[in-house]
């Protein structure tokens, strides 16, 4: 069973990942470069214009979806590499553990890199919660009040026999009120600056993902022989290298 998992991990993870690394890194690097072409000061000017609208920042929502997808894929890729290394660790025995030490060092690098990506990924949902709290202080409030009233009346008919008829009815009305007080400049600035901060955080996350692929890919390329066969092809315990 574990031998099959070992063979599958080598083919389905490391080989496939190594083949796609170039395209992954180039795509991420291109997106990061395009985003960095707009300074944070210019982004703030743009975001300030929409800071009082009761709507999401469409640009950041699109960017977050992209960055979240790339970060999640990276975390899963790194987990597969961890599994690949774990399955190639040989049985414990005396001597010739130089290759095993390399395996453990690479596994540590992969695990710490994945942990950094996962931490940044987990922090993303807080942006919408924080932005909603700030928008409550700058967006005009609209409320609707509904009132209901009951009325009754009595009609009396004159004639040979007096008759009294009671009538009753209900009526309702609603009033819509909009609060349009001018928002405080600091409140508007807080929304815009939160957007700017989140934009930078997303760019930074993409850089972390790109650099994770570069670092791990370079480490795999340099040490793949030891990762696959840490004690050599023959596993000679008498050899130190």
Residues 6+ apart with CB under 8 A from 92: none
pLDDT of 197 higher than 90: yes
Report whether pLDDT(162) > 90: no
Q: Give the separation between CA 150 and CA 38, rounded to whole angstroms.
A: 62
Residue 155 confidence (pLDDT)? 58
CA distances from 227 to 17, 73, 148, 167, 238 (A): 15, 23, 77, 92, 19
The residue behind tokens 């389905």 is 12
241 band by pLDDT with thresholds 50, 70 and 90: very low
Tell me the pLDDT band of 235, cut-offs 50, 70 and 90: very low
For residues 174-190, give the mean pLDDT: 77
User: What percent of the chain is modeled with pLDDT above 90?
Assistant: 51
pLDDT of residue 126: 96
Q: Phi/psi of residue 229, each to 5°?
A: -135, 75
pLDDT of residue 225: 84
pLDDT at residue 163, rounded to an integer: 58
- Give the number of other CB atoms < 10 A from CB of residue 178: 9
Can you give the C-alpha Rg of the chain in angstroms? 33
pTM attached to this predicted model: 0.77
pLDDT at site 89 = 82
Q: What is the pLDDT of residues 22-34, one digit of tens each?
A: 999 999 999 999 9
- Burial per residue of 156-165, b for 16 or more beta-carbon CB atoms within 10 angstroms, e otherwise: eeeeeeeeee
Name the token pair of 236. 């000679």
Specify the higher pLDDT residue, 75 or 224: 75
Domains and CATH numbers, the chain: 2-138+182-228 (1.20.120.180), 142-179 (no CATH)
More confident residue, 49 or 150: 49
Question: Where is average pLDDT lowest: 40-54, 130-144, 187-201, 204-218?
Answer: 130-144
Please state, in angstroms and rounded to a whole number, the distance separating the CA atoms of residues 28 and 35: 11
Mean pLDDT of the chain: 83
Q: How many Cα atoms occupy the beta-carbon half-sphere of 219 within 13 Å?
A: 21
CB-based contacts of 169: which residues, under 8 Å, 6+ apart? 150, 151, 152
């Amino acid at each position: 069973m574990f031998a099959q998992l070992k063979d599958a991990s080598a083919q389905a993870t490391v080989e496939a990942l190594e083949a796609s690394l170039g395209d992954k890194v180039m795509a991420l690097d291109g997106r990061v470069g395009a985003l960095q072409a707009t300074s944070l000061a210019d982004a703030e000017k743009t975001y300030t214009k929409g800071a009082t609208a009761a709507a999401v920042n469409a640009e950041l929502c699109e960017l977050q979806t992209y960055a979240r997808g790339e970060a999640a894929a990276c975390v899963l890729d790194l987990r597969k590499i961890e599994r690949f290394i774990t399955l190639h660790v040989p049985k414990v025995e005396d001597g010739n553990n130089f290759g095993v030490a390399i395996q453990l060092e690479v596994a540590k690098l992969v695990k710490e890199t994945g942990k950094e990506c996962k931490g940044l990924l987990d922090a993303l949902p807080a942006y919408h919660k924080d932005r909603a709290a700030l928008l409550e202080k700058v967006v005009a409030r609209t409320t609707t009040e509904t009132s209901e009233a009951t009325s009754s009346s009595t009609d009396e008919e004159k004639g040979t026999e007096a008759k009294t008829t009671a009538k009753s009815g209900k009526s309702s009305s609603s009033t819509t009120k909009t609060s349009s007080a001018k928002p405080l400049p600091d409140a508007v600035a807080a929304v815009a600056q939160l957007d700017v901060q989140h934009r930078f955080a997303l760019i930074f996350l993409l850089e972390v993902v790109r650099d994770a692929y570069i670092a791990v890919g370079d480490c795999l390329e340099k040490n793949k022989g030891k990762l696959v066969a840490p004690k050599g092809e023959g596993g000679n315990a008498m050899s130190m290298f």
